[in-house]
Structure 1
Amino acid sequence: MKKIIYYILSVSILAVAISCDNNFDELNTNKVSATSIDPAFQLNNATISSAYTTGTLIYEIGIVQQIISPNSGLMTGANYNQDNRGVTDDNWQAYYRNVIKNTKDVINRIKDDPTRVNLYHMTRIIQANAFMVLTDTYGSIPYFEGGEGYSQQIYLPVYDSQEAIYADLIKELTEASAALDPAGRIESADILYGGDIMKWKSFGYSLLLRAGMRLSEIDPALARSVVQEAEQGGVILTNADNAVLAHDPNYTNPIGNMLNATEASNFYLTDVFVKFLQNTEDPRLKAIAVTYVGATSGPEQLPANASFDPMIQVGMPMGNDNVGAVRAASELGLASFYEFAQVDRRRLASLTAQNFLVTASQNFLLLAEARQRGWITSGEVETYYNAAVRAHMDQLGTVNEASSISIAEANAYLAANPFEEARAIEQINTQYWVSSFLNGPEAFANFRRTGYPMLAPNPFQGREVEFINRLTYPNSEISVNSENVSAAIAAQGPDNLATKVWWDK
């Protein structure tokens, strides 16, 4: 009897095992998990991830002396002109992991697909923007092999010189912008322009204009040729066409998120920036700044004691640690350093504030400089200049209605601060500094290219350099990809804040 029971049990187990094996594939297949993704959604991911990182507050925006923190530790950066590799890797990690990983994969997947030609060229443009930010930040970077770990299993990419990178960026932007076809497939899932191919064209040519102007001091002849190509192609000249990333409660503005959380009371407008706007009676100061009258702590920075009056805004002097900021506030008659002016985190630096990649105001100023140099023949320098100022003032109101500036205010400002041909390059690029507010990478790059605005060195006694010229490579690269990093350093110069990138002359 026991043998019969054992036999029946064994047969039953065997039958179940055979049954499980027969249905193994079906039982172990996730029927709700995506096995492939529309490359348009990958491009959207890359586009969203192009927003400027929180690290730009600590470095790029501070380097150009617009916003600074007196704190040390994690906040160490442009406040002291010191290296902080816990932050200098922000652009690297954000762009390689979230932008270029996706764009490289999309390009590899659809480059030979005739039905997705427009998407292919749109992706090339977003990728070019990311690589331009990266090479302008660090100099030599993995470019041709960069971001190919996921798609091509290249885990230790070689570094390419900035000269070689810019040559290819110009090629990519020229080809992609020209090849975009309004008669082709419209990628309606696109979150940047809703598939509007003509706006993508103007975005691509705008980046080409930016790339051309970046070479103004290192290769004027090439710069002129590239700028002419971009101007003839058609760049962004209205705020309606700005390359702008919208944010919402699910996809918040990184800088806004930082300034509305733990660092809300740790960053302040500099006295350099505030005084420049005050001295010219610039209406943009009231659109940008807020001071919390009488605040003696972060919790006292409340809407009830907020003032936007431009005449009472006091910027934090450069070169102060926390102790120095307390002393400076006392000497200036403030209740505490918490009363220094800040970028208003409920308007321009809110959680849902837009992030501007390229704007009409920036383009007008680049065209003004190109016209002044004689590189283009259309338009007048002063006309471009005035249009740029008006465009930026109008742009502020698109971020938040409470930051709107009237036409009358813009007219009064230009009348009181007219364009002067003798100071054309200085005026144009100082306005570029203002127009690029909160776009740290672009303000930092144009400041190095032109030397404007004319800023005094950070006076902090423990500074490592007078001016920061580039950010340092991530520790992860130095430890993992050491051979290629070493080769880049040998060709470019020491991996420190003083070494200049190729085009910085």
Structure 2
Amino acid sequence: MKKRIIYLGIVLLAFIVGCTDDFEDINTPKDAVLQVEAGIMFNPLLQNPLRNYQRNINLYPDLFSQYWANTVSGFESPRYEYVDGWIGNQWNEFYTQTLPEANQLIAWYGEDPLHANAMAQLEIWICSEWARMLQTYGDMPYFGAGLGESVAYNSEQEIYYDLFDRLTTAVNNIDPGATDQYAYKKPDGTNYDLLYSGDLDKWKRFGNSMRLRLAMRLANVDPTKAQTEAAAAVADGVMTSNADVAHIPLWSSGWYDYLHQMAFAWNNIRASKTLTDLLYNQSTLGEDPRARRWFAYKDDSPLVGNAEIEGVVNGYDVLPGNSNDFATINLEGGYVGFVGNGTDVSHYLPYMFYSEVLFLRAEAALRGWVAGDANSLYLEGIQASMDFVGVDPANATDYINGLSALSGSNEAQLRQLITQKYIANFPNGVEAWADFRRTDYPDISLPVDGVSSNSSVAPDTWVKRIRYSDNAHLFDAFFMPSSRNTVESDRMDIRLWWDTADTKTKSGGLMSSNF
């Protein structure tokens, strides 16, 4: 009897094994889609920075950079409070949506020679998104992340070094002459590629420009590596004109939760006084001609004569006065304006301006890392910004002629350079906040009503990073750096690797740490 039971067990096991060998085939509908066209997934990946824009960017980097100031009571992120239901989305969406989708595309098409260009474009983009995450949080799960399992948190240095390699390889893998390869085109001839509509030469320049941005991020903490990567990126070819600007178009059928919603429709931000003051004190001309391209007033009252555009001081607990007394976005103006009927949105989210690349080159030249005259590149950067925003050429010339040339110590010249870069990068708050933390320029005020007692930022101290999300602490605490593996220790005044100096050490408006 015992032998018979064993025999039956063997037969049953063999039957089960035999069935499970083709279990997936049997249980998969014949009309199921097992692999989608690459462009269908690449298109929403390019829209990732727009997802939850208010909660992920506007309530944090946009306010921390002081391009905008909050006007709504109860929103305490300008006073450095962390709200997981807001900024926590950025972490969660990246690791549960953006990164797994990119990994899936690589799994499907990464070894296909006919998708080599498409995969290189994807690689440049996902490296750029990694960089955006990295400058927000610091050490992160990187190697092996996005594949369904928790992995160790890698150091910023490890990740930056790998991103340099990945960007270099991706740029080198793009072959604009390979017209037989797959391109991100829809059946109707339009393009899934929202950045450059399939222009591979522009993708190469964007990849090199991103490499330059990351190189300069390391200028104070790892200057040897920074110089090597900056020089190589410039030599390989960075952006050459405003036609190379990387920006994401907004339209009614895509993500369009952007500045016009926060500034005008929802009425919860106004221009920051930090920025508006700089629009009046840089040139002997007086008002920066970009000011009225960017800003207006909600009640449509005209700015008469020499009346200045006024911004809000950052960090009020309760805004004194009426928010309509302060400038808001100019819906009909320059880069951040839009034309449409409320449904056909036709403006853009900036990712990298050509002017930024010129300022990066100017800083690299100031440090002696690349060829070129720092002052000439600095002035070219301002001109590129004016041109892109649509300033009258004569007004742009008058403004630039009224500026002081770069002069004084390297530190003094850097302050001038970063201040103009800050203005030109508007409204890219993500980059402006990163530049302030790296260089401590321009002067950004502490919250006027003080750092919130509910924040993890010490009083009279600037916010330096975003803490890890609640989900990360729930599932990844074992893998986090030991100094940040509890909610209490995961503070937002911890400096990132490349943020090497304390802003409070300024003397006469200058740091002593950038050279």
Structure-1-length-normalised TM-score:
0.82
8 Å contact from structure 1 (residues 259, 349) kept in 2: no
Q: Indicate yes or no: 2:162 matched with 1:173.
A: no
Task: Decide which moves more: 218-227 or 97-106.
Answer: 97-106
Distance 2:473 2:441 in 1: 33
Q: Which amino acid aligns with 2:71?
A: P
Q: Which amino acid aligns with 1:436?
A: N
Q: Structure 1 residue aligned with 2:441, among 406, 430, 452?
A: 452
Q: Indicate yes or no: 2:388 matched with 1:406.
A: no
Q: Which digits, 9 at most, give the CA deviation of each residue in 1:260-288, with x for residues without a partner?
A: 6762x210111121111022321111111
Distance 2:163 2:497 in 1: 15
Distance 2:401 2:488 in 1: 47
Distance verdict in 2 for CA 1:90–1:482, change over 3 Å: same
8 Å contact from structure 1 (residues 364, 384) kept in 2: yes
Q: Indicate yes or no: 2:295 matched with 1:283.
A: no
Distance 1:27 1:225 in 2: 54
Identity of paired residues, percent? Answer: 24
Q: Structure 2 residue aligned with 1:395, among 388, 410, 418?
A: 388
Match of 1:13 in 2: none
Query: What are the within-5 Å matches in structure 2 for residues 263-342 of structure 1?
Result: 263=266, 265-280=267-282, 281-292=287-298, 301=299, 303=300, 305=301, 307=303, 311-322=307-318, 325-326=319-320, 329=321, 336-342=322-328
Match of 1:502 in 2: 497
Give the secondary structure class of the aligned counterpart of 2:247.
strand
Distance 2:254 2:198 in 1: 20
Distance verdict in 2 for CA 1:417–1:180, change over 3 Å: same
More helix by share: 1
Distance verdict in 2 for CA 1:243–1:163, change over 3 Å: same
8 Å contact from structure 1 (residues 51, 253) kept in 2: yes
Q: Indicate yes or no: 2:53 matched with 1:59.
A: no
Give the secondary structure class of the aligned counterpart of 1:312.
coil
8 Å contact from structure 1 (residues 177, 204) kept in 2: yes
8 Å contact from structure 2 (residues 477, 486) kept in 1: no
Distance 2:153 2:27 in 1: 46
Q: Which digits, 9 at most, give the CA deviation of each residue in 1:384-426, with x for residues without a partner?
A: 1111111112222xxxxxxx31111110011111322323211
8 Å contact from structure 1 (residues 56, 441) kept in 2: yes
Q: Indicate yes or no: 2:37 matched with 1:48.
A: no
Q: Which digits, 9 at most, give the CA deviation of each residue in 1:413-468, with x for residues without a partner?
A: 11111322323211111122112212121111111111110223223234344211
Q: Which amino acid aligns with 2:261?
A: M
Match of 2:509 in 1: none
Distance 1:160 1:491 in 2: 17
Q: Indicate yes or no: 2:358 matched with 1:364.
A: yes
Q: Which amino acid aligns with 2:237?
A: G
Query: What are the within-5 Å matches in structure 2 for residues 91-240 of structure 1?
Result: 91-149=90-148, 154=149, 156-184=150-178, 185=181, 187-189=183-185, 190-240=193-243
Residue 490 of structure 1 deviates from its aligned partner by: 5.6
Distance 1:176 1:319 in 2: 42
Residue 492 of structure 1 deviates from its aligned partner by: 13
Distance 1:279 1:135 in 2: 33
Q: Which amino acid aligns with 1:90?
A: N
Residue 27 of structure 1 deviates from its aligned partner by: 13
Distance verdict in 2 for CA 1:491–1:94, change over 3 Å: closer
Q: Which digits, 9 at most, give the CA deviation of each residue in 1:16-48, with x for residues without a partner?
A: xxxxxxxxx9999484x6432112322222112
Match of 2:16 in 1: none
Distance verdict in 2 for CA 1:229–1:186, change over 3 Å: farther
Give the secondary structure class of the aligned counterpart of 2:350.
strand
Q: Structure 1 residue aligned with 2:469, among 471, 474, 481?
A: 474
Structure-2-length-normalised TM-score:
0.80
Q: Which amino acid aligns with 1:199?
A: K
Distance 1:461 1:145 in 2: 41
Give the secondary structure class of the aligned counterpart of 1:279.
coil
Q: Which amino acid aligns with 2:316?
A: N
Task: Decide which moves more: 364-373 or 269-278.
Answer: 269-278
8 Å contact from structure 2 (residues 314, 445) kept in 1: no
Distance verdict in 2 for CA 1:77–1:183, change over 3 Å: same
* Alignment gaps of 5+ in structure 1: 1-24, 293-300, 330-335, 397-403
Distance verdict in 2 for CA 1:445–1:28, change over 3 Å: closer
Distance 2:227 2:348 in 1: 32
CA RMSD after TM alignment: 2.6
Q: Structure 2 residue aligned with 1:249, among 233, 248, 252?
A: 252
Q: Which amino acid aligns with 2:465?
A: R
Residue 493 of structure 1 deviates from its aligned partner by: 10
Distance verdict in 2 for CA 1:435–1:479, change over 3 Å: same
Give the secondary structure class of the aligned counterpart of 2:145.
coil
Match of 1:437 in 2: 426
Task: Decide which moves more: 124-133 or 80-89.
Answer: 80-89
Give the secondary structure class of the aligned counterpart of 1:50.
helix
Distance 1:383 1:201 in 2: 25
Match of 2:478 in 1: 483
Distance verdict in 2 for CA 1:345–1:92, change over 3 Å: farther
